[in-house]
Every structure is written in structure tokens, then in C-alpha cells.
Structure 1
Amino acid sequence: MDPMPAKRPAGPFTPLDFQLVLLRRMADHNPDLVDDARRELGVSLADMREANRRWQAMLHAPRSRSAAHRYRSVLGTPESVTPRRIGDLACEALLWPVPLWPDLRFEVLALANGVVWNEWLVRAPGAAAPVLRTLDDLTPWSCTVDEAARAFAPARPLEGTAPTRWGLALTAPDASGVRRECAAEFTWGLLQRVAVSGRPG
């Protein structure tokens, strides 16, 4: 059981608070990993819940600023801003470091008017991608959506079960080499769990 740390004083919403928001969503699938990460950050369960409450309040505040502006105000100046085109959609890819996961970045794809088209964790530029060959490699927090999709192509997107969640239907070999159909679920772009159908793919 966690000790009873002193309650963190209220103040500006910080990058630390945002990491707690990411963890709060991931706790539904991997509470042990989240508890370890929370202790690494030196914060309590109550701190995590409070950070999530404040984040939700910002999201639903009347006359709130654009999502892109909200991320800048919380996370500071992006590490990089890169023009990106997705089909006919022109946007900017903004990247911020995430201390909990040094090899990842939080990516926001923002339109010129500040509307955010996508927001999730991606591999940092220059960081080595994980080696993904079998189902055994698909462990919690091991890879991002695009990494799993490339490793086990062709993967088919699945509708997420909640906001900030994504899914992929893919076929991957098990330890014996038999290819299995499975569904991978991601939160904020990071793998959380894989459900195997049992049927050979």
C-alpha cells in the first residue's frame, strides 16, 4: 500500500499532471504498470485522480481555447513542429517529450485553426523501434499503433472502446509459428493488451 504523501498543492496544470492523465486511462488495463510509473513520478493515487479531474474540467470548460493551444499551455513549446499532409488535409505535427517514456513523444496533429485531428504517443525521431515478430513481442507498453500496424501488415483499424483508445485487427504468429487472428488495444497510442481469437489466421 502507498504511504500517505503530502497532498500536492494546487497550481498550474503541468507536464507532470499530463503524464498522470495518460496513466489514468491506462490504469483500466494495466494497473500494476501504472502504479509502478506513478511511484516513479513520486505521486499518489489521489494526485492522479485529481489531475484527471482537472483535465476533464479543462476539456469541458465553456469558451475554452483550442485544443492545440491547450496542449501548448500545458506542455510548453513543442520539441518540434513539422508540416504534415494526410490526404487532402494539411496540418502540423507537434511533438513533446514524455519523461516517463524517453523513447516516445506525444504527437498532436493540429489544423491551422487549432483544431486537433489526432493526439497520441509515437516513437521519438531517431529512437530504435521495437522488434515485433510474434505475439510474445506484443507486451503492454511495448509499441505504438503505427509500429504494430507495420510489423503485422495488413492490419485493420478497429473502433476504440472509449475516447483516446484505438484498436487494430491483425494476424501474428504465436510461439509455435501458427498465425493467429487477434485484436490489439491501444490507449493514447500505446499498446495495452492483445486478445487472441484462437482461430489460425
Structure 2
Amino acid sequence: MSPRCERCDGTLVPVVYGMPVDDEPYRRHERREIYFTGSCMGGPEPWWCWSCERFADPEPRPPRTLTMAGYQLSLLDEMRRTVPEAVLEPPAPYDDPPAHLREEAGRWNALESQKIEDLAAILGEPVSGGPSRHRFALPLWPGFWLEHTTMDTEVGGYVLDRRFVRRSGEPLRSTDELRPWSVLLPEAQAFFGWEETRMPNAYWHAIPFQLDGRRMEAWFVHDLLQHVSETAEGGTA
């Protein structure tokens, strides 16, 4: 069933590369019988209502039955997929999640073009981390905020990326503190003098470095350390 516009109940069409995709209205637009009056927004891109000639959101938005527990598990699943060797075991029930929680985490992972207002309805109102930056406190990571960067549009703020930032505690002060879930990538860069990675906006990084003459590799997901290991060949940033 096609999504409907919340303003006029008209059928919505997806937006691709800034242009509504729908065969007949698009051809009418090309013939200049009707006009697309929006502007190219870049990704993520919402929907378009030809009746209103405005960007629009499909209704309903993601269900409010989703929970913070499911969101946390979806993050853990992402970390495990990226760094299968990670040794840190989360507390119950995340160490052996029940079926309903696994199902919910899958629903979180399947959501596309999340809006910050959808997250706030479930995770609680965020605190501001600056322009278009919204920080949520999650119980599994009490020493950190999970900060979401958004792109603001006329139909709300869409989440572009997310990263952990320190909420409490001290940055890395010695190599003994290089433990999973304890160190942020910018802190390790400052401590070891690592150069900026080639893709700073990537959601994961594998950083090779040397420690006491040994070749090591540190893995970060959303800028939070997940795993440190010794390697014979080193890694890639």
C-alpha cells in the first residue's frame, strides 16, 4: 500500500537525487504541465506529495512500541558484525537476548531515514551537542552520550550519522586504560599522536599502531573502542 500524505491524504512518491520519482507526474513535469518546486536536498531524502507540491513524510512513522532496549541491542549487533573478535560481553539480557528483543533489534536495524523526533519519542528528549547534534544517554554506556548528527529539512531532522562522545570520566591517560567501551577515537588519537584517518566520517575504524615495539590494531565503532589486539601485519586505517 502506497504511503499517504498527512496533509491531504494524497499518495506520496519517493524522492531520489532531489527529484520525485513517479512516471506520469514526472513526465508532466518534463512537459512543464506541472512544476516541481522543491530543491535538491541530498540524502537522506524524504517523500514528495504532488497534490501539495511539497516534501512530506509517510504516515504512520515508526511504531512507538519500539523500546530503548531494542535500540541498544541493535547497536550491539552492529558492533558485533563489525568486530566479531570483540571480547567484551554485555550484561543480561544482552548476553543472550530473548526472541522478542532480537526481533525488535531487527526492526530498528531495518528502519531507514530515521528522524530525530522518532528517536526522542522512544529514547527520551536529547540534550544539545551543538547545531544539529543531539545527545542521548543510554544505560549500557553510562560514561558516554550517543550523539546523532542531523540534516534539517522542512519535514524535520533526518539522522545522518552517530558517534559516542564522553559524558563523564577521564580521557585516556595510560596504555593500561586502553580497554573496550572506555576510550574514544579522538582521545586515542591525541594520546598516541595518531594521524587523522582517511575516512573520518566512516562509522568504524581499524587503526594500526605500535606499543612497546609490538604491532597492534585498535577497532572503533561510532568512535568507541571495541577491541585491541596484537597483529603480525598491522591493520589499515
What TM-score does the superposition give when structure 2 sets the normalisation length?
Answer: 0.57
One-letter code aligned to 1:33: L
In structure 1, distance between residues paired with 2:116 and 2:91 = 26
1:133 aligns to 2:178 (yes or no): no
Aligned to 1:38: 92
Runs of 4+ that moved beyond 4 A: 197-200
Q: Shift in Å at residue 172 of structure 1? A: 4.2
Q: Indicate the structure with greater helix content.
A: 1
Among candidates 100, 110, 121, match of residue 57 of structure 1: 110
RMSD over aligned Cα atoms: 3.3
Contact 2:135 2:145 in 1 (8 A): yes
Alpha-carbon displacement from aligned partner over 1:156-201 (angstroms, at most 9, x marks no partner): 42659xx974115353433xxx3x554321223321123444479x
Alpha-carbon displacement from aligned partner over 1:88-136 (angstroms, at most 9, x marks no partner): xxx4221111111211111112232223342022211xx12243433x5
What TM-score does the superposition give when structure 1 sets the normalisation length?
Answer: 0.66
Where do 5+ consecutive residues of structure 1 fail to align?
1-9, 84-90
Q: Percent identity?
A: 27
Map 1:1-201 → 2, pairs under 5 A: 12-28=65-81, 29=84, 33-34=88-89, 36-39=90-93, 44-59=97-112, 66-78=114-126, 80-83=127-130, 91-113=131-153, 114-124=157-167, 127-134=168-175, 136-157=176-197, 165-174=203-212, 178=213, 180-198=214-232
Alpha-carbon displacement from aligned partner over 1:21-60 (angstroms, at most 9, x marks no partner): 11222334367634x4233x6972424421221112322x
In structure 1, distance between residues paired with 2:205 and 2:87 = 22
Alpha-carbon displacement from aligned partner over 1:3-32 (angstroms, at most 9, x marks no partner): xxxxxxx97111121111112223343676
Larger radius of gyration: 2
Where do 5+ consecutive residues of structure 2 fail to align?
1-62
Aligned to 2:29: none
In structure 2, distance between residues paired with 1:95 and 1:104 = 9
Contact 1:120 1:189 in 2 (8 A): yes
One-letter code aligned to 2:219: E
In structure 2, distance between residues paired with 1:12 and 1:138 = 37
